Amino acid sequence: MSNYNKLIRNKIPQIIKSNGKTPTTRILPEEEYIKEICNKTEEELTEYLEADTKEHKLEELSDLLELINALAEHEGTTLEEINNIRKKKAEERGGFSDRVFLIEVTDN
């Protein structure tokens, strides 16, 4: 028997059953669900940072995007709406592609 105690994708219980095993699951209340999405996000970000091939990195980025999608659904919105907000912010403040690192700001 293996213990996991973590948020899993919706179809994982069916996959476990199809492999002849029995999963024990529960449905999380809203507050705990959000906490576990955050935990899962940390896990997937760590996996991205540790990935050593482009394919593996892209897999982990897709997992992160799925978690962002879950948070968007929780907020009653879509990835499309979030992407529109992202574009507006990028237009107003720029993105991160220039790699600018702010060290300090001094008064004149």
Task: Kindly report the average pLDDT of the chain as a whole number.
Answer: 97
10 alpha carbon, distance to own chain's centre = 15
pLDDT at position 1, please?
86
Q: Where are the domains of the chain?
A: 12-78
Backbone angles phi, psi at 11, to 5 degrees: -90, -5
Radius of gyration of the chain (CA): 19
User: Which tens digit of pLDDT belongs to each residue from 11-45?
Assistant: 999 999 999 999 999 999 999 999 999 999 999 99
The model's pTM is 0.87
106 alpha carbon, distance to own chain's centre = 36
Q: Please state, in angstroms and rounded to a whole number, the distance separating the CA atoms of residues 100 and 13.
A: 44
